[in-house]
């Protein structure tokens, strides 16, 4: 059985923002529905909702100082907690791995 994604997901005119979700029988990466935001946009969205950065950090179990460093661009967000913060804020594409020992296991399609 061939799985065909909706036309809106394969439209080449969409922004070149990608994530790792793949359709089983399609070899190209599907463009993300929600484009990534900048750190400034993430801060503005929290402000728009009336949520302080510190409150957001505490509610998500992150160090307040580390969240400020990620939003300030002082951390690279390559792995670990900074990666998780950036993904959760929507400023980095990726997934949050809860079991690092099984990070490379392939999932059944």
Assess whether 47 and 29 both reside in one domain: no
Residue 82 lies in a domain: yes
| Tens-binned pLDDT, residue by residue, of the chain (109 aa) | 555 555 555 555 554 444 344 444 444 444 456 789 999 999 999 999 999 999 999 999 999 999 999 999 999 999 999 999 999 999 999 988 888 888 888 766 5
For residue 55, give its domain range.
Answer: 39-89
Assess whether 17 and 29 both reside in one domain: yes
**Chain centre to alpha carbon of residue 62:** 16
The pLDDT value recorded for residue 35 is 87
Residue 85 lies in a domain: yes
Tally of domains in the chain: 2
Assess whether 79 and 45 both reside in one domain: yes
The pLDDT value recorded for residue 37 is 95
Sorted by sequence, the CB contacts under 8 Å of residue 76 that are 6+ apart come out as: 82
Angle between helices 64-71 and 39-48 (to 10 degrees): 120
């Amino acid at each position: 059985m061939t799985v065909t994604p909706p036309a809106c997901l394969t439209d080449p005119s969409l922004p070149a923002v990608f994530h790792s979700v793949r359709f089983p029988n399609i070899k190209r990466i599907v463009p993300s529905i929600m484009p990534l935001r900048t750190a400034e946009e993430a801060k503005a969205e929290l402000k728009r909702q009336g949520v302080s950065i510190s409150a957001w950090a505490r509610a998500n179990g992150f160090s307040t100082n580390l969240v400020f460093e990620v939003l300030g661009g002082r951390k690279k967000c390559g792995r670990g907690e900074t990666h998780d913060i950036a993904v959760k804020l929507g400023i980095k594409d990726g997934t949050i791995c809860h079991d690092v020992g099984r990070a490379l296991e392939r999932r059944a399609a």
